[in-house]
Amino acid sequence: MKHRVAATACVLMALSAPAAASDLAESIQQDYDEHLGALWDHFHRNPELSTVEFKTAARMAEELRAAGFDVTESIGGTGVVAIMENGSGPLVMMRADMDGLPVEEKSGLENASRFQQEDPITGNLVYTMHACGHDVHITSLVGTARQMAARRDEWTGTLMLLVQPAEERVLGARAMRDDGVWERFGKPDYALAFHVSSSGVAGQINVQEGSPYAGADTVDIIIHGVGAHGASPHRGKDPIVLGSQIVLALQTLVSRELSPREPGVVTVGSFHSGTKHNIISDRAHLQLTVRNTNEHTRKVLLDGITRIAENMGRVAGLPDDKLPEVIISNESVPPVVNDAPLVRRLREAWTDAMGGDAVVDIPTKGMGAEDFPFFTQDPDISSVYWSVGGTPQEDFDREAAGGEPVPSHHSPLFKISPQPSVTRGVESTVVALLELMPK
Ligand SMILES: [Zn+2]
Ligand SMILES: [Zn+2]
């Protein structure tokens, strides 16, 4: 309650004295000192797991309402939609994901999380941590809401701020769409999102034409063998040997069938078979993750996995009705694909506002996936997904000199510098929104 009064007072103060565009960074820094820094601290200490982000969602609804938005809760589970109508013009959506992870924080931060929550998957009480930096995303979304409310005379259109649950389980975006978010609040003309990145220099904006996040498929391969005594292999069909051949043959898909300029990943993350030293099992189970950046690669990899698994079964002499079964999950995630002209437009706006050094174009090295594309495909919505660096330059220098490495996302050591991340998160978002909704 005490907090609510403080937030409202701060917004009223901002509303009565709207800052000019030129002092945007200064105004955001002031809001960080007065409100956003403490809000990040609160979210960082209290991370909630995917699908059960109840208190986080309630606090976000309260903050966005206090900033003057029309707020609707419980969309696709714990999702929140906040709308501000401000005259005619485009409908622009900005998304922030809010879930934490079942990780015990060992970052050494003063405000490290000691929060525990019942894991909805296992039922166990687990430590939780904002080990992916989603606390930066939601804090920045509040900062964006407060700036856009204070600058109503600088833009025209409708702003939709979307607080998404369960990104880490790639469930939340689809759940919000299935709950009719476009039908209820309007289909956006543009959709935006960013991720804070531990591999980026604190405060630096990285934006690429192309695909910053990969598409992902989950595949299971069931191998049917013929069980036998380990001393009589000629009496059986060994699924471990066949599975091993399949694992090795799968390595040729990326190396020999994809263009070397086309990224793809086939990882066998799990291989289970057998019970005892001297028993040839009758079954093996492989679990794969398969990554792509476009539909063509996806088809080459998935068709190739099926072809290799089935035909390696034939090589092993299995009859057609006992060939390995390939099960492709229907829980596929498409790649994030940025709209190239929109990237160029926003890059120019960001460079004008923050200077050329603040905006970089560094291709992503990994093939991580995101569920943001469920907002931007079917129907297609022009979108840009960028990243905001969260690690101080001195930490990279220390690593380069052979010191402690910069921890990755999802690590218990994960650590983001909140001030540059949140302020640049707000600044990059507000600059993009003002560019897309000019008066
Ligand atoms: Zn994550
Ligand atoms: Zn994340």
Share of the chain above pLDDT 90, in %: 94
**Gap from CA of 143 to ligand 1 centroid (Å):** 22
- With 60 as the cut, is the pLDDT of residue 6 above it? no
130-148 pLDDT, tens digit each: 999 999 999 999 999 999 9
**Gap from CA of 215 to ligand 1 centroid (Å):** 15
Closest ligand to Cα 409? 1
81-131 pLDDT, tens digit each: 999 999 999 999 999 999 999 999 999 999 999 999 999 999 999 999 999
Query: What integer is the mean pLDDT of 8-29?
Result: 60
Closest ligand to Cα 168? 1
- In angstroms, rounded to a whole number, what is the distance separating the alpha carbons of residues 229 and 236? 8
Average pLDDT of the chain? 94
The string over 91-100, giving b where at least 16 C-beta atoms fall within 10 Å of a residue's C-beta and e elsewhere, is bbbbbbbbbb
Verify cis geometry, omega within 30 degrees of 0, for the bond prior to 379. yes
**Gap from CA of 343 to ligand 2 centroid (Å):** 21
- With 90 as the cut, is the pLDDT of residue 224 above it? yes
Closest ligand to Cα 98? 2
**Gap from CA of 194 to ligand 2 centroid (Å):** 10
**Gap from CA of 105 to ligand 1 centroid (Å):** 14
Q: Report how far apart the first and last C-alpha atoms of the chain are (Å, whole number).
A: 36
- With 90 as the cut, is the pLDDT of residue 5 above it? no
Tell whether pTM > 0.95. Answer: no
**Gap from CA of 213 to ligand 1 centroid (Å):** 12
**Gap from CA of 311 to ligand 2 centroid (Å):** 38
Question: How far lies 154's CA from each of 18, 20, 291, 433, in Å?
Answer: 10, 9, 42, 10
pLDDT of residue 156: 98
Q: How confident is the model at residue 67 (pLDDT cuts 50, 70, 90)?
A: very high
Please, is 181 exposed, middle or buried when counting C-beta atoms within 10 Å of its C-beta (0-12, 13-18, 19+)?
buried
pLDDT of residue 12: 42
Dihedral of CA atoms 14, 73, 427, 397 in degrees, nearest 10, equals 130
Q: What are the backbone angles phi and psi of residue 42, rounded to the nearest 5°?
A: -65, -50
- With 80 as the cut, is the pLDDT of residue 36 above it? yes
- With 80 as the cut, is the pLDDT of residue 3 above it? no
Closest ligand to Cα 194? 2
- Which residues is 157 bridged to in the sheet? 86
Q: How confident is the model at residue 365 (pLDDT cuts 50, 70, 90)?
A: confident
CB 55 within 8 A of CB 99: no
Closest ligand to Cα 102? 1
**Gap from CA of 130 to ligand 1 centroid (Å):** 9
pLDDT of residue 331: 82
- With 90 as the cut, is the pLDDT of residue 330 above it? no
- With 90 as the cut, is the pLDDT of residue 238 above it? yes
Query: What integer is the mean pLDDT of 255-267?
Result: 97
**Gap from CA of 433 to ligand 2 centroid (Å):** 22
- With 50 as the cut, is the pLDDT of residue 401 above it? yes
**Gap from CA of 61 to ligand 1 centroid (Å):** 23
Q: How confident is the model at residue 275 (pLDDT cuts 50, 70, 90)?
A: very high
Residues with CB under 5 A from ligand 1 (ion): 132
Which of 278, 281, 286, 301 is closest to 245 using CA atoms? 286
Q: Which residue has the higher pLDDT, 182 or 363?
A: 182
**Gap from CA of 68 to ligand 2 centroid (Å):** 28
**Gap from CA of 407 to ligand 2 centroid (Å):** 14
Q: Please, which residues have CB within 8 angstroms of residue 305's CB and are 6 or more apart in sequence?
A: 219, 221, 250, 253, 266, 288, 290, 326
Q: How confident is the model at residue 22 (pLDDT cuts 50, 70, 90)?
A: low
Tokens of 269: 């993350």
Query: What integer is the mean pLDDT of 327-348?
Result: 96
